Amino acid sequence: MFTKILVPVDVSEIDVTQPGLDKAVELAKASGAALRLIHVRSPVPYAMNEYIPAEYYETDEKSSLKALRDLVAKIDLPKDRITIVSPFGSVYDEVLREATEMGADLIVVGSHRPNWSTYLIGSNAANIVRHALCSVLVIRAPDAPAQKL
């Protein structure tokens, strides 16, 4: 069925991420697939760089990787089938790049319910769906209320 599943993770919004991660683990168990978790770190705007301490980028990466390792520790899969990565960039660009580089055959992404800002500026999940070269499964939290438009 699937051999390589990419799971975008927002370590600051686990409630949005967790349903997608749970579904990805379920699919990986059923098909023997490997999982890769990706947390994309947002770059600091160029104009703000002079105000950022020199160690910020290294500290941010370490913090993100630790959060991913903490998630991996809770996953009921052999640990040699799970990898993590935390690049800088725009979420959908980095997710699509990683999916291509690893040869993913599925991306499982958690998503908010649509609201006005989603329709006006789009969402990361929508951009991933629109441009991915592999299948994409979008999972919404089952108890997330529908937002009024």
Domain-wise residue ranges, the chain:
4-140
Q: Of 78, 89, 75, 88, which Cα lies nearest the Cα of 7?
A: 75
- Spatial strand order of the sheet with 135-140 comes to 82-85, 34-38, 4-8, 106-111, 135-140
pLDDT of residue 96: 97
Fold of the domain built from segment(s) 4-140: Rossmann fold (3.40.50)
Tokens standing for residue 142: 């089952």
pLDDT of residue 37: 98
Which residues of the chain fall short of a pLDDT of 70? 112-122, 141-149
Q: Of 20, 39, 25, which Cα lies nearest the Cα of 141?
A: 20
| CA dist., res. 2 & res. 106, Å (int) | 7
**What global pTM score does this model have?**
0.86
The angle at the Cα of 120, spanning 44 to 90, to the nearest 5 degrees, equals 25
pLDDT of residue 146: 55
pLDDT of residue 7: 97
Cβ-in-10-Å burial (0-12, 13-18, 19+) of 28 comes to buried
